[in-house]
Amino acid sequence: MNKFALIGHPLGHSMSPLIHEKLFALSGLSDTSYELIDIAPEDMAGSRGLLESLRGLNVTIPHKQAVISLVDELADSAQRYNSVNCISNDGGRLTGYNTDCDGFLRSAELLPIGGNVAILGCGGVGRMIAIEVARHGGNITLAVIPQDVKNAQLLMAEILAKCSDASVRIADIATLEGSYDLLINATPVGMYPKVDACAVSDTVIENSLSVFDVIYNPTETLLMKKARALGKTAVGGASMLVYQAVKAHEIWYGGQFSAEDISKIIIDVENAVDSMNK
């Protein structure tokens, strides 16, 4: 049996088994298993043997950096972010990847990431998105709360170090102004159970042509509802979650999936999230 797993701590309810089992089924791989393995931070350093026992694995918080010392090689994506969320095992040689960036880029494929882009938040996912937007020529506004200005300044310096011709500015999220081709929420504001919260004013939403929200629970955040009510395109986090998993299967065994099959899995994830909240 080929064993796959998600490692992290603590591991509560996860959509990963649902997604990966469907992808394995679509690939005709019945002799596989996907499990959740909770590894405490103090036990991570001694987990190389466990990693070698798996054909492939996903990595979530708090191990995305700690696991780097346990792999033999880092792909470009993992080097770029100094973060690993996917590992392949090729005959005992472990290679670390970051498929979060692939998940974002594929789910935002039809959105104008090369235009004027406002990114709300500058944490882990906000950092990744900002760098990818810069790599694709977008003009970036990092909109943050006052406590995060220093972190935003560090991110701005990192972006300019990686993309010297990038356009980046920092703004207070509470007084954000301007017109944007794309508004991206990379904060937890609006996440279940606090579903009545929205990170920006209605004016900012009105002045944005499209919206991307990394949150997948709820499947339609208040930000997305407001954008759609104005006739704007709004994409939620479930697609990003599924596409990063799709990339993992491509890495692990060369999996190939149709757009139709991926869309069905995204809908399955959204239905599962909705059922979970009832």
pLDDT at 27: 97
Residue 182, both tokens: 């794309």
Pick from 22, 49, 47: which is nearest to 34 by CA? 22
Overall pTM surpassing 0.85 (yes/no): yes
Q: Which CATH superfamily is domain 102-235 in?
A: NAD(P)-binding Rossmann-like Domain (3.40.50.720)
pLDDT score for 155: 98
Location of each CATH 3.40.50.10860 domain in the chain: 2-98+239-276
Distance CA 184, CA 75 (A): 26
Please give the annotated binding residues, written as ranges: 14-16, 60, 76, 85, 100, 214, 216, 237, 244
- With 0-12 / 13-18 / 19 or more C-beta atoms within 10 angstroms meaning exposed / middle / buried, residue 21 is middle
151-170: per-residue pLDDT in tens? 999 999 999 999 999 999 99
Instruction: State the Cα torsion 180-183-186-192 to the nearest 10°.
Output: 150
In this structure, CATH architecture of domain 2-98+239-276: 3-Layer(aba) Sandwich (3.40)
Q: By C-alpha distance, which of 43, 45, 37 is closest to 4?
A: 37
Residues of the chain with CATH 3.40.50.720: 102-235
Q: What are phi and psi of 123, to 5 degrees?
A: -75, -155
Numbered residues of the known binding site for NADP(+) = 76, 214, 237
Choice among 64, 150, 247, 264 that is catalytic: 64
d(C-alpha 267, C-alpha 254), whole Å? 24
Pick out the chain residues at pLDDT < 70.
none
Phi, psi of 234 (to 5 degrees): -140, 125
Q: Is 64 a residue of the active site?
A: yes
Q: Are residues 27 and 249 in contact, defined by beta-carbon separation less than 8 angstroms? A: yes
Query: Binding site for shikimate: what residues are annotated?
Result: 14-16, 60, 85, 100, 216, 244
